Amino acid sequence: MYKVMIIEDDIKLRTLTDAYLNKWGFQTILVEDFESIDRQYVREKPHIILLDINLPSFDGFYWCSKLRQLSDVPIIFISSRTDNMDIIMAMNMGGDDFIEKPFSLEVLVAKMNAILRRTQNVQQSDRDVISVGQLILNLDNHRLFYQHKEVYLTKNEFHILYLLMKHNGQIVSREKIMRALWQDEQFIDDNTLTVNVTRLRKKLESIGLTESITTKKGQGYVLQ
């Protein structure tokens, strides 16, 4: 069963679309929190997204751009804004199709099925991500997202944070981290790891995460 994320703030239209797609066997995900769409995507992993342009807080162009940093999931814009520049912007931001409001639900399903047919036999190209709360780490391009901010991590910073996120709330020993970074910790000066953790902490602080990595003396580090 295909999962469809509906990002539409018009409750009546959202409900109508939801009911119709359910009849066609789609599993729908209705977005109601319009400030955490990227986190909802990571949590739900839909096969296709229906995206309005006029949304609270941030518009559909913004969210399309954010989602494209996480995934190549098909995105169909649905909007009453039909100026040529809006359509061009939607496509340039990474949209796969554009449907003008008001629209036929039959046409919508036909377009969705056409896009899904083109992608169902292709290896899913979504980039892997790992998330802890509002923290999202893209495993493909080493970019870290928190709320509406992002930062790029070096290879070592990425591997350290990946281990801490993977074992969220648990102490990860310095030896385990060094093995992951350099294969054999005996060839590494212990201070090198300290320097990398310090740099990682500074990058986390730059996007609003303070005191997120705690040092456990004689044991290692923990993400909190």
**Tell me, what's the pLDDT at 97?**
92
We report the CATH number of the domain holding residue 30 as 3.40.50.2300
* β-sheet bridge partners, residue 80: none
Q: In terms of domains, do 113 and 146 share one?
A: no
- 115 and 33, same domain (yes or no): yes
**Whole-number pLDDT of residue 201:** 94
In order along the chain (224 residues), what is the average pLDDT of each group of 10 residues? 95 96 95 93 93 94 92 92 89 91 94 84 57 88 86 89 93 88 60 88 92 90 90
Q: What are phi and psi of 15, to 5 degrees?
A: -65, -40
Total domains in the fold of the chain: 2
218 — phi, psi (to 5°)? 75, 0
- Same domain, yes or no, for 7 and 115? yes
Q: Are residues 75 and 155 in the same domain?
A: no
pLDDT per position as a tens digit, 77-92 = 999 988 889 999 999 8
Residues 144 and 111 in one domain: no
Residues 137, 45 share a domain: no
Give dist(CA 184, CA 221) in Å, integer: 19
CA nearest neighbour of 77 among 43, 108, 120, 46: 108
Tally the residues of the chain.
224
Which structural domain range is residue 144 located in? 129-223
Please report the pLDDT score of residue 140 as a whole number.
Answer: 81
User: What pLDDT score does 214 carry?
Assistant: 93
User: Hunting for tokens 């990946």 — which residue is that?
Assistant: 162
Q: Say yes or no: 145 and 69 in one domain.
A: no
User: In the listed set 63, 95, 120, which residue is the last one of a domain according to the structure?
Assistant: 120
